[in-house]
Structure 1
């Protein structure tokens, strides 16, 4: 399963790549590597692209996978002596990394075809995605439709969402509720929801198998992760977007953003990797391989997986957060959330 951020998984996912053989580039022959700290979710896609990148350039890639908050935390702790070359994480963590001076402006080749990016060049979207929720159709009867439905006593200790401030998808839940209800009412709602919530979780991916087994009846997630699990793992859940009191369903985009780390130890090969991941050839494999939407506007998403995503999103209003405001308020909002739920 994806999105598991235990220490053992982190250690296992630092992927050493075999030394390059004859005919590799000077960078590869000299033993240079690129280290990527990335939020989980694109692991299988990375494995193929990194192998292609090494074959083309001779540059090895080391990959460390964790939750969105952990990517930022690692970069913060290593600020004086950076270990990562490229950071990939969800909003608002990539914006927070930029505000804290953890990113070096760099505009990858092809970024002119990407709409979702930092105006100052500190980060660029790599793949598109959306916040979603999941439920087990065998146990959650009738199926939940609105946010108010999730407060029902029938979901007592059968519902869980990943923790805001730690997980990107969990932080997205807080942002979505603030949009639907307003900040104060969102905190009141989450306080009431605690009667049903199993407890904190730093990993959204760990919730998927629990919903499939019926241990949980409802959880949060994202479209890419959820559809991939349904297709590849035979997950027994369905995706939904909770509606507000008027019946309107909404969500917002959660792109995977990539940025060059400030004082990256291998800046030049890191830039080559970022250029490579944004090429049309790499971008067109996102949807077929992992249900990610291409970040480039000139790469058409017209495969079966892309059409499945489009069908899923019909009738769902997509809104855009003010990420500058989200970042400015993030620490205070997470503290208020923790207090509201009794943490």
Structure 2
């Protein structure tokens, strides 16, 4: 046998004898970046990966980005599960981009509060948040300003230059407009009082923020007061020790519910359904409540008084305001046009 033939035979034998290294099954999970991503990847997802022998590929981003991505990939999506706030999620649902979650797909967690199930079973919320006013108590005390109690307090001239707020492109800005309307005799069906009051608020704005992260504005001293969720504020306070307080205004605090949705036609919808099931299980819901201050959607979760502090839990959930997303989505383009002309000029 020639040397070349011997070499070829040896290579073939090595190939046959070499162990086959199996690739781990993969599920693609699109969800928030920043502190949320760190919590998911370090704490929440590893037990799921170990239990099912899978790899969770984490794609960070925001709600509107994921809606755009799902639209662009329609027919051949790359995502299995997407996190989206309830507003953008309702758009994805209406566009036919989501796969219904049948009861059979939530076999491990049948005790989900009904309000957490999305319309047409298009998804399930994995936490209850309240959108309200967040303020720096030291900054207000130094300025001689009492803590806010109303959405109208954003227009207090003593806050001039120290109100930081999201634009209408994100949920905090949109909800602020709707709640200012509500606080002045209107609502989502009569937004005029909201625009009138928002013009007064605009005179106090130090910065309009395109995203939803208010942390640098508080840290730098620019923000004394903002519109933010209790959960985001509590995560920041826990991580940094920075003193902030949350208040649900007397006119009400809108509920914000991050949703988990199964992507229609995703590459691994069955494992995606298992991931959603896992994320709303009582054990994981308790972790979200303790670590991220998300109100649990699983009725089996029990929290101590200390653990429930700052969490939308049981009776606290009853005072939340549910804004009509069908109206918000319909009117948002027109409100955005007006916002750009009348508010952010």
Q: Which TM class, normalised by the smaller chain length?
A: 0.7 to 0.9
In 2 relative to 1, CA 308–155 (structure 1 residues): closer, same or farther, beyond 3 Å?
A: closer
Aligned to 1:188: 196
| Contact 2:294 2:312 (8 Å CA) reproduced | no
Q: 1:150 Cα shift?
A: 2.2
Contact 2:206–2:222 (8 Å) recurs in 1:
no
Residue 165 of structure 2 is aligned with which of 161, 177, 194?
A: 161
For the residues of structure 1 that align with 2:196 and 2:158, how far apart are their CA atoms? 20
One of 265, 287, 290 as aligned partner of 1:288: 290
The 1-side partners of 2:166 and 2:230 are apart by 15
1:82 corresponding residue in structure 2: 77
Indicate if the aligned counterparts of 1:132 and 1:222 stay in contact, CA closer than 8 A. yes
Distance change in 2, residues 1:39/1:310 (3 Å):
closer
Cα separation, partners in 2 of 1:169 and 1:337, compared to 1, 3 Å: same
**1:69-148 superposed matches below 5 A:** 69-107=64-102, 108-109=105-106, 110-111=109-110, 113-115=112-114, 116-140=116-140, 141-143=144-146, 144-148=148-152
Aligned residues: 308
2:227 corresponds in structure 1 to: 220
Structure 2 SS opposite 1:36: strand
Question: 2-side partners of 1:176 and 1:64: how far apart?
Answer: 32
Note the C-alpha offset of 1:159.
1.1
Displacement, 1:324? 2.5
Matches within 5 A, 1:247-326: 248-302=250-304, 304-309=306-311, 317-326=319-328
Q: CA-to-partner distance for each residue in 1:82-135, whole Å, 9 max, x for gaps?
A: 222111111211111101112111234125533121241111111111112212
1:302–1:328 Cα change, 3 Å: farther
Which structure has the greater CA radius of gyration? 2
Cα distance in 2, alignment partners of residues 287 and 171 from structure 1:
26
CA pair 178-250 structure 1, distance change in 2 beyond 3 A: same
User: In structure 2, how many angstroms separate the alpha carbons of the residues matched to 1:227 and 1:287?
Assistant: 11
Q: Which residue of 2 aligns with 1:20?
A: none
Report the TM-score, using the length of structure 1 for normalisation: 0.81
Contact kept, 8 Å, 1:173 with 1:220, in 2: the verdict is yes
The answer for the alignment partner of 2:331 in structure 1 is 329
2:240 corresponds to which residue? 233
- In structure 1, list runs of 5 or more residues that go unmatched: 1-27, 243-247
Q: TM-score, normalised by structure 2?
A: 0.80
Deviation of the 1:180 alpha carbon:
2.7
Q: Which runs of 5+ in 2 are unaligned?
A: 1-20
The aligned counterpart of 1:179 is 182
- Specify which structure has the higher proportion of helix: 2
Shift of the 29–255 alpha-carbon distance from structure 1 to 2, 3 Å rule, reads farther
State the match for 2:28 in structure 1.
35
SS state at 1:62 partner? strand
CA distance in 2, matches of 1:319, 1:180: 12
Deviations 1:228-275 (CA, angstroms, capped at 9, x unpaired): 222221122222234xxxxx3411211111111122122122112112
Contact 1:204 1:220 in 2 (8 A): no
| Alignment deviations for residues 124-169 of structure 1 (CA, whole Å, 9 cap, x no partner) | 111111112212223223133333332233322221111222x233
